[in-house]
Amino acid sequence: MPGTEPEPIPASAGGWRSRLRRLWSQPMVRHLLLGLAAALGFLLLTSALSPYDDFQVAQVAVYALALAGLTVLTGANGQISLGHGAFMAVGAYTTAMLLVDEQVPLGLAVAASTATSALLGLIVGLPATRLRGPYLAGLTLALAVGLPQVSVRFAHVFGGEEGISVPPPTPPDGVDPQRWLAWICLLTTLVVLVLLANLMSSNVGRAFRSVRDDEVAAALAGIHVGRTKVLCFTVSAACAGLSGGLLGLGTAIVNPGEFAPALSIGLLAGMVLGGAGSLLGAWWGAVFLVYVPQWATSISSSLHLNSSISSNLALVVYGLVLIGVVMAAPAGIQGGLRRLVRAGARRLGRGDGAS
């Protein structure tokens, strides 16, 4: 009526949605929420699995951590490494020696393994700034071949071929030891992945990608190319060392056979399979690394193959799967899934417009 105050206009129905979209657009919040959702999902999954399956889930988490560091180095920064198994070995031996000889707490031992591998990555990364392509791959491959032999040469310190037995983490009362191990590995991996995702969304991550795309243009933009490469190598090596420390806990023994050059090659293949530059793709590559050897063993047993063929069948399966994925999805499994989702969204959009 005339002279009366107008009715207040209610907030639009899309107001809260726009606020949620703005909140979701913040990388730190988005990554943290995704990490919490993944932690809840893994908690429910491991609670429903058998102890052996929990152990396998722990192995997947361990390799996903190493692959995440490698995908930052190779996928985001363009540096090819065939020596990440060596960084894992450094982390594993550091953790084992601190737990057995010094009896330090588990958290401190794992942190020390991360720092030790990061230091080695810093040392290797310095000459790597002047190497590219096959030359850098050759340097890191030499590291993967030579470093495990140090434990054989100094057997009185590192245990030689037999290695060092690692005490498993003590679970709380009522918790299965394998489930407790899986929770430790999963939680550590998820925390590191959230940190890496935030790093890749920051100016540092953009510097990584700029150096990968064009070093000259990155230098003209004010980016210190050498320092950026060394930093990326250090971060990647730290992830590998942490992964190696967790791997030693899972296998309960650390010896040079666990870190043969084939491990470094398998990590590179797993990264390509999952999707170079994709942190989510690291999970696909880890599943590939954990389950393909088991499937190959089952196939050889069912076909009654001799030992020489059986021992190399996993490598054959690696190659066939890798060739198939690269031909079908050059960006890896995660890239292929992303492309399918976008294609489905476009079709849905066209369908809504037509209706």
Question: Could you give the number of structural domains in the chain?
Answer: 1
341, part of any domain: no
Report pLDDT digits (tens) over 5-16: 555 545 454 577
Contact 115, 122 (CB under 8 A): no
Report pLDDT digits (tens) over 187-229: 999 999 999 999 999 999 999 999 999 999 999 999 999 999 9
Q: State the Cα–Cα distance between residues 276 and 74, nearest whole angstrom.
A: 7
94, part of any domain: yes
Q: State the Cα–Cα distance between residues 347 and 252, nearest whole angstrom.
A: 51
41, part of any domain: yes
Report pLDDT digits (tens) over 302-354: 777 777 677 677 777 777 777 877 787 778 888 888 888 888 777 776 665 55
* Selection from 276, 279, 263 nearest residue 318 by Cα: 263
The whole-chain average pLDDT of the chain stands at 86
9, part of any domain: no
Checking if the pLDDT of 355 tops 80, the result is no
322, part of any domain: no
14, part of any domain: no
3-state SS record for 81-123 = CCCHHHHHHHHHHHHHHHHHHHCCCHHHHHHHHHHHHHHHHHH
Contact 120, 90 (CB under 8 A): yes
68, part of any domain: yes
| The predicted structure's pLDDT at residue 354 | 52
114, part of any domain: yes
Contact 232, 72 (CB under 8 A): yes
Q: Domain range spanning residue 227? A: 28-260
- Angle at the Cα of 111 from the Cα atoms of 105 and 116, rounded to 5 degrees: 125
